[in-house]
Each structure stands twice: as C-alpha cells, then as structure tokens.
Amino acid sequence: MGRQSKRKQIKRESASQPKPSEADINPNKFIRQIEKQGYRFDNIDRSPDIPTDKVDPQV
C-alpha cells in the first residue's frame, strides 16, 4: 500500500467518525479536571516581581 492510498484511507475513516456536537462539549470540563489535580482558581498565587536592582556577587 502506497503513501497516498494510506492517506486516503485515513481520511475516509476520520470522515466517517461522528464529530462531537457543540452541546456535548462542556466549557467547564477543563477547569474541573485541573481542580481535581489540586489547582485552585479562586486564590491564584502570582509569581513574584522580578527585582530591578542588580546584585553584585559576593566572592
């Protein structure tokens, strides 16, 4: 089987599979999955500010 025929076959198979409709997609699903991993979106810890002072190394 050649390269082009493999691509055609993959295209046909992907076209025959039903795509999820807009009603099936839940926008909050990602947030719930992240919260299960332990992350919180209520109290977001921001990274500290980058210091503008240049510190001389101590030798």
Q: What's the mean pLDDT in 20-40?
A: 76
CA pair distance 7, 10, nearest whole angstrom: 5
pLDDT for residue 35 is more than 70: yes
Q: Name the percent of the chain lying above pLDDT 70.
A: 76
Alpha-helical regions (H) of 1-59: 3-16, 29-36
Per-residue pLDDT at 37: 86
Q: What does the pLDDT read at residue 48?
A: 67
Q: Which of 11, 52, 35 is nearest to 3 (CA)?
A: 11
